[in-house]
């Protein structure tokens, strides 16, 4: 009798694990079918706007729109600094290593590489995340560093352009480095 109960519990646990895994795979397929990746793109970023807290972000229609569009789980991480501009980050390569570094004014002024800042988040490309950052419109305070499974490195500090209010993307991409795709739905104001 005890053996039967143990077997049933083990079977139930395996079924739950399989269901969770298939949901993750389905969400990943949805993200990649919705995003129109260009050849060199290593990450996709959407700007959601300004929110005073994680709770305010999660209660917003922007959060509901992007989590629905890309099949994101309620448990999607929110990486926070002391600032309130929110972005969604989706990495193309599920096996990539993702690190969010804190940038300081002294680091930038001193010419230090962005990837030497304090680590705020580390994860894998298979996990999209929200990022709340930026001290001002002009000064980003984070740097995303993505290293793909093939060794392509992408470093990017998300911020908006003062010229048109859209996501400011890198002007050019150096050899062996990936590019960034803007997936912001600008019609969603």
**Separation of CA 82 from chain center:** 18
Q: Kindly state whether residue 70 falls inside one of the protein's structural domains.
A: yes
Assess if residue 27 is contained within a domain: no
pLDDT in the model for residue 22 = 43
Please report the sign of the dihedral spanned by the C-alpha atoms of residue 120, residue 126, residue 132, residue 133. positive
> Residue 124 domain-assigned?
yes
Residue 111, domain member (yes or no):
yes
pTM of the model: 0.81
pLDDT at 45: 96
Total domain count, the chain: 1
- Greater model confidence, 57 or 112: 57
Q: Is residue 10 in some structural domain?
A: no
- Residue range 123-162, pLDDT digits in tens: 998 899 999 999 877 788 999 999 999 999 999 999 988 8
């Amino acid at each position: 009798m005890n053996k039967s109960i143990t077997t049933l519990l083990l079977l139930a646990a395996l079924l739950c694990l399989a269901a969770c895994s298939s949901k993750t795979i389905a969400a990943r397929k949805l993200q990649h079918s919705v995003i129109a990746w260009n050849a060199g793109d290593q990450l996709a970023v959407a700007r959601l706007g300004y929110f005073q807290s994680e709770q305010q972000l999660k209660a917003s229609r922007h959060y509901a729109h992007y989590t629905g569009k890309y099949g994101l789980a309620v448990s999607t991480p929110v990486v926070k600094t002391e600032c309130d501009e929110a972005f969604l980050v989706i990495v193309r390569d599920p096996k990539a290593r993702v690190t969010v570094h804190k940038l300081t004014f002294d680091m930038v002024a001193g010419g230090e590489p962005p990837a030497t800042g304090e680590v705020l988040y580390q994860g894998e490309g298979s996990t999209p995340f929200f990022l709340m950052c930026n001290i001002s419109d002009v000064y980003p305070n984070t740097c995303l560093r993505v290293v793909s499974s093939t060794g392509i490195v992408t470093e990017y500090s998300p911020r908006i352009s003062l010229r048109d209010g859209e996501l400011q993307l890198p002007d050019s991409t150096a050899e062996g480095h990936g590019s960034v795709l803007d997936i912001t739905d600008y019609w969603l104001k």
